[in-house]
Structure 1
Amino acid sequence: MRYLFISFLLFTISNSLQAQQLSTLSPDKNIKLEISLDNGLAYFQVFYQKEEFLKKSPLGLSSSAGDFTKELKLIGSKTAKIQESYKLNRSKVSQVNYKANEINYIFKNSTNDTINIIFRVTNTDIAFSYLIPKTTKNNGKCIIEKEITGFKLPLQSTTFITPQAPPLSGWEKTKPSYEEEYTREASIATKSQYGLGFTFPALFHVEDKGWILISETGINGNYPGTRLSDASSDGIYTINFPQEAENNHQGATTASGILPMQTSWKTITLGKTLKPIVESTASTDVVKPLIKTSKIFNAGRASWSWIVWQDESCNYKDQKTFIDLAADMKCEFILIDALWDVNIGKEKMAELVDYAKSKNVGVLLWYNSNGNWNTAPQTPKNKMNTQEVRREEMKWLQEIGVKGLKIDFFGGDKQETMKLYHDILTDAAEFGLNINFHGATLPRGWERMYPNYMTSEAVLASENLVFQQAFSDRYPSTATIYPFTRNTVASMDFGPVFLNKRFNREPNKGTIRRTTDAFEMATAIVFFSAVQHWGLTPENLTEKPAYLFDYLKNVPTVWDETVFIDGYPGKYCVIARRKNTKWYVAAINGENKAKTITVNLPMLKGKNVSIISDGEGQESKFSTKKLEKGSYNLELSANGGTVLFTE
């Protein structure tokens, strides 16, 4: 990274001077950040194209190194221009050219303790973090008890956010796990479902001005995962730390570290449209790679028996069938889910891994994260939560040729738990294993920080299509919310692409699928996950047209470029993604009524494209066309979709 320091300003503020205000602009001058002191209280305010998107919002924290929530004085600031180019190989883009104006504000409190508040402003994002420096007065361990950081939204704003679940709730006491329903343009006065606030990321429609997405990044065991409170009567959401009962009361709710100590980064992405939200790289811009390795960790597609055939399919015969399915579909992986240690065993698993190798398919194995902070009975248990046992298990996995792990049931955001994520990723990188987290927290910059991090659930995912007809009924609408919220900040393992009419091994049992086949094909693009675990079953290959599988055999899971085309959360979504020179454009209709959407697709102008679109009922149809003008009329059935891709 290259820093060019422009200025260093010192201020001597007398006790009689009660207010101070400074501002900085984005490189294109569309975003204005204002910092102010009012009677010793620090605030920030955000404007976009001269319109107020965030009102005067509080800053500060309390810690063992000082109380920085009041009686503050601004004693100086440093400004810098930051310009950096970096690459990603498991993300929605592969090349990022990051440009930001940075300003580091230096405050002292009434007892002469120091805190820095660092802001970075790009043309679409603001990121900020607190840094408590090491001084002769404070030079040891520091505990941060709370943040008073807040975000004050205009009162007419509406929300697309998910509530924080109570600790030790849900199935077998496995929550909180970021698996709740999104609000749908609810008033900011609407209280959270459980009275515990809301999880990141949080999307707000700011009156008629535009959109803001607020999230968090840059946690590697150095900080707890935080969340937003319910909004106050004047529209302020404040930062909350984890609850004491998370992870079955294990670990502190506070943050601790050795000075100098830096907090997580809070990120704000804003714009008149949803384009900056969908295309933002704020979650990776302010973090750095943590592990150097010569090992290569491949992304790809996976067959997965459990999602439709469920627990009974975790046996040697059925997994061999799904290895064959993966080979037929040119999938890189098969995911073998819970209970494999009991139903298959380690010796037979080694045989399965060898069989998969002969088919050029890598094996991913499921693990329970622990055995003591929930009552989930699925095994293997107690293999991932302590280092010695974890490394012994990973050594065996490496020896038999397993390619990666899906680790489930974490149940909390305490710093101790965030460190467990870090430790698992670090050890797994050494043993050449890629990692997917389920029942888990929101990933916070991990696509750049760890070379083997692939994806996380952290969303109400496809298993709920199997478990709840109500979720299946709402799924078309829900699917059009995720690209603007959860999936814009990180890889999301939803587990898409279903062709069974019912979510069950038996054709006349189970919940009913409401989406069209073209909708399902579109989710392979609309949903981004470095490893995509598909809901396909073997019979699909004989029941459905070959062109669907020709498309799926070639669709990428990681991308060089992502472009927002059109959409509105809960209604519809159109996204374009590029891999090398090949473009894919996907549209999904979140409403139970047909619609026509005219979109501009300059990347397809003059190109021959293949089109999978809605046919009769749930069936699809295939066509080819040259797009002379680069525009296209999307004819979407109720709960339908379309995919266009270049040759």
Structure 2
Amino acid sequence: MRSLHKIIFSISILLSVILQAQVAELVSPDGQLKLSVFSEDGKAFYSVAFSGKTVLEKSPLGLVTNETDFSKNLKFINAEKGKTEKKYTNQKIKKSEVNYNANTLICTFENAQKNKISVEFQVSNYNIALRYQIAPIGERMSAVVQSEVTGYQFPKSTTTFLSPMMSPMKGFARTAPSYESGYEADAPLGKPASNKEGYVFPGLFNIGNEAWVLLSETGVNSQFCASHLSNGTSDGLYTVEYPNPAQNNGFGSSGAAISLPGKTPWRTITVANSLKPIVETTIPFDVVEPLYEPSQNYKFGRSTWSWIVWQDPSMNYEDQVKFVDLASSLRYEFILIDALWDANIGKERMKELVQYAKSKNVEVMLWYNSNGAANDSPMGPRNKMSSSIERKKEMKWLKEIGVKGLKVDFFGGDKQETMRLYEDILSDANDFGLTIIFHGATLPRGWEVMYPNYAGSEAVLASEMLIFSQDVRNSEAFFATLHPFIRNSVGSMEFGGVLLNKYLTKSNQNKNKRLTTDAFQLATAVLFQNPIQMFGITPNNLTDVPAFEIDFMKEIPALWDETVFIDGYPGKYAIIARRHQDQWYVAGVNAEKEVLKKKLKLPMLTGKTVKFYNDDKNREINSKDLKINKNGELEIEIQPNGGFVLK
């Protein structure tokens, strides 16, 4: 009888092995990050471990097309391993020179209809990128990818740092979703978004205070839709979801039409036992390539803009002259002239204004509405960016009068139809030598590399909401301590910050009181990264804030050669260092209710005398020279809602 039990037990073990068979394994070049791919009951899965600790448990792979199903009845065919490496430069991201090395794996599966799909992985130190390669399906050379089952199964000890996907066709003039929701820090695993729409990329996860995982995607262009994370299940599974069909006013497919053979965008997973590799990752840029050659050497830098504080009434010739003069006095490269310039200034006077700006060594960027038929936003110029013929006519005029860039607003969706509009605007703008910033827009997904004239996206609860919402003003420091770890970690973030008015109004009095200190505001000029930084300085700040603040803002760069994590915890405090050429800046902000005392290790400043901008106990900013000791250590205090900068 015992022998029979042994035989049955052995058979059950054998069946378990057959049902769950590991098909491939891949480790990072440093051996810390391990990917395992396996099949079970005709389905494909993967898992991820870091330093021997499981960070993603059995997680599903696969997708469904209108021609065939690649999510079930899969049989493993083969696995091919290799290596990839490249060196590249890009002045628009957090690090200007990058050396990328990864081990590669392509696992091929076949479904019941003998159709093949491959899953391509690249595993570098701290990062995994994966995407699907779809072969022709019988005689079909095209297909619609309808959904994915790609998922991320987290251990139950995980907490989350996520931002909800906005409901479609809601908000101002039905312009949502625009990636402008807030975050909840250290939320329970599997907690659904309040509107049931899931969560945007990127998403940050803390696994038992022992490991961190950052999820995102990259390489999305006109050939695919963008995606987001589902609501998590009660046991911690998040999956890739395609756009809600109601986006874009219901127009366009929620899936992706692709030519075969074809590839999906990359899903990226950054894994570490500290936040340093999360802040410093370059994986969104490592796995993508430029899609076209730049028509010229594009210029990036700093900008003034009247609208953020002076709002719509400032859209007139005289006020814009004041902000040109402000840009000139600050030695900034640009002025942004925002919505309604077409009606309030007009094209003829805009020619004069552009020439006046040029006489002051300031280049002009103009705001445009993306509409279109996607929403009801009324501000002009409208219907100039949404069709090829009108867009090229307008861009020809813009080039003729000397405009250097555009800020295009109000997109509201992740469908392939909208991704095509983003790409068409960028591609046409390159033909006319125009840089492009997107506002009211989706997350950029590798676009700094893919599109040479791309200059940033909002896709965040940005400075305009500090004007409009008391709740956002109350949470300004909280959100600022999240962005370096999440949103700004994966792409340029056009926040529009550094507001030095005590009250966020033109009169600088009575309402919209700013709750953060001046040192906090200066720190965000370093913490927030975008190749064109639009700062909220107003002409009165030249005389009503300490002169050393203006001197600091005259010298702050917008382009960085290196980014280094120093210390922090998302939602509590953040301290990072950035280098421009030979000049280091170290900046931090505190969202806690108590004074934060920290001993910092700053090897890049060892033995150097630096400028130290900080708040005193009365929350007033001061500036002094400070020598960093021979150990590169410094003890600091950061006031609540305050900040500091070392330069």
Give the TM-score normalised by the residue count of structure 1: 0.96
Instruction: Give the alignment of 1:261-276 within 5 angstroms.
Output: 261-276=262-277
Cα offset for 1:554? 1.3
**C-alpha contact (below 8 Å) 2:295/2:431 kept by paired residues:** no
Aligned length: 631
Cα offset for 1:631? 0.8
Aligned to 1:124: 126
Tell me which moved more, 616-625 or 515-524.
616-625
Instruction: Give the alignment of 1:99-138 within 5 angstroms.
Output: 99-134=101-136, 137-138=138-139
Partner SS for 1:541: helix
Aligned to 2:336: 335
**C-alpha contact (below 8 Å) 1:138/1:259 kept by paired residues:** no
Percent identical pairs in the alignment equals 48
Instruction: Give the alignment of 1:254-403 within 5 angstroms.
Output: 254-403=255-404
Return closer, same or farther for 1:501/1:462 CA change in 2, 3 Å cut-off. Answer: same
What are the Cα deviations for residues 217-261 of structure 1, in whole angstroms up to 9, with x where unaligned?
001111101011111122101111111110101111111111111
What are the Cα deviations for residues 33-78 of structure 1, in whole angstroms up to 9, with x where unaligned?
0101001110010000000001100000011342110011111111
What are the Cα deviations for residues 146-167 of structure 1, in whole angstroms up to 9, with x where unaligned?
1011111112211111111111
Find out whether 1:484 has 2:474 as its counterpart: no
Amino acid at match of 2:347: K
Aligned to 1:4: none
Cα offset for 1:19? 3.0
Q: Aligned partners of 2:40, 2:93: CA distance in 1, in Å?
A: 42
Aligned to 1:497: 498
**C-alpha contact (below 8 Å) 2:190/2:237 kept by paired residues:** no
Q: Aligned partners of 1:198, 1:26: CA distance in 2, in Å?
A: 28
Partner SS for 2:324: helix
**C-alpha contact (below 8 Å) 2:493/2:528 kept by paired residues:** yes
Aligned to 2:55: 53
Amino acid at match of 2:95: V
What are the Cα deviations for residues 450-486 of structure 1, in whole angstroms up to 9, with x where unaligned?
1110110001101111001111011111110111110
**C-alpha contact (below 8 Å) 1:164/1:198 kept by paired residues:** yes
Q: Aligned partners of 1:138, 1:243: CA distance in 2, in Å?
A: 30
Q: Aligned partners of 1:362, 1:568: CA distance in 2, in Å?
A: 38
Cα offset for 1:16? 10
Q: Aligned partners of 1:211, 1:301: CA distance in 2, in Å?
A: 33
Find out whether 1:234 has 2:231 as its counterpart: no
- Structure 2: gaps (5+ residues): 1-14
**C-alpha contact (below 8 Å) 1:114/1:133 kept by paired residues:** yes
Instruction: Give the alignment of 1:523-542 within 5 angstroms.
Output: 523-542=524-543
Correspondent of 1:73 among 72, 75, 78: 75
Q: Aligned partners of 1:616, 1:378: CA distance in 2, in Å?
A: 44
Q: Aligned partners of 1:316, 1:208: CA distance in 2, in Å?
A: 55
Q: Aligned partners of 1:579, 1:16: CA distance in 2, in Å?
A: 54
Partner SS for 1:199: coil
Amino acid at match of 1:82: T
Return closer, same or farther for 1:582/1:15 CA change in 2, 3 Å cut-off. Answer: closer
**C-alpha contact (below 8 Å) 2:115/2:135 kept by paired residues:** no
Cα offset for 1:389? 0.6
Q: Aligned partners of 1:593, 1:364: CA distance in 2, in Å?
A: 41
Cα offset for 1:618? 4.0
Aligned to 1:454: 455
Amino acid at match of 1:134: P
Q: Aligned partners of 2:214, 2:294: CA distance in 1, in Å?
A: 33
Aligned to 2:43: 41
**C-alpha contact (below 8 Å) 2:295/2:430 kept by paired residues:** no
Q: Aligned partners of 2:546, 2:599: CA distance in 1, in Å?
A: 27
**C-alpha contact (below 8 Å) 1:160/1:183 kept by paired residues:** yes
**C-alpha contact (below 8 Å) 2:455/2:531 kept by paired residues:** yes
Partner SS for 1:451: coil
Aligned to 2:405: 404
Aligned to 1:424: 425
Return closer, same or farther for 1:561/1:630 CA change in 2, 3 Å cut-off. Answer: same
**C-alpha contact (below 8 Å) 1:142/1:261 kept by paired residues:** no
**C-alpha contact (below 8 Å) 1:574/1:585 kept by paired residues:** yes
What are the Cα deviations for residues 295-347 of structure 1, in whole angstroms up to 9, with x where unaligned?
01111110011000000001000000000000001110001100000000000
Amino acid at match of 1:536: I
Q: Aligned partners of 2:568, 2:617: CA distance in 1, in Å?
A: 24
**C-alpha contact (below 8 Å) 2:279/2:484 kept by paired residues:** yes
Correspondent of 1:63 among 62, 65, 72: 65
Tell me which moved more, 544-553 or 24-33.
544-553
Q: Aligned partners of 1:291, 1:554: CA distance in 2, in Å?
A: 33
Q: Aligned partners of 2:141, 2:86: CA distance in 1, in Å?
A: 33
Aligned to 1:436: 437
Cα offset for 1:86? 0.7
**C-alpha contact (below 8 Å) 1:515/1:618 kept by paired residues:** no
Aligned to 2:10: none
**C-alpha contact (below 8 Å) 1:304/1:534 kept by paired residues:** yes
Cα offset for 1:510? 2.6
Q: Aligned partners of 1:331, 1:226: CA distance in 2, in Å?
A: 36
Q: Aligned partners of 2:145, 2:241: CA distance in 1, in Å?
A: 12
- Structure 1: gaps (5+ residues): 1-13
Q: Aligned partners of 1:252, 1:37: CA distance in 2, in Å?
A: 31
Tell me which moved more, 543-552 or 375-384.
543-552
Aligned to 1:513: 514
* RMSD, matched Cα: 1.3
Give the TM-score normalised by the residue count of structure 2: 0.96
Q: Aligned partners of 2:136, 2:157: CA distance in 1, in Å?
A: 43
**C-alpha contact (below 8 Å) 1:434/1:453 kept by paired residues:** yes
Aligned to 1:194: 195
**C-alpha contact (below 8 Å) 1:85/1:97 kept by paired residues:** yes
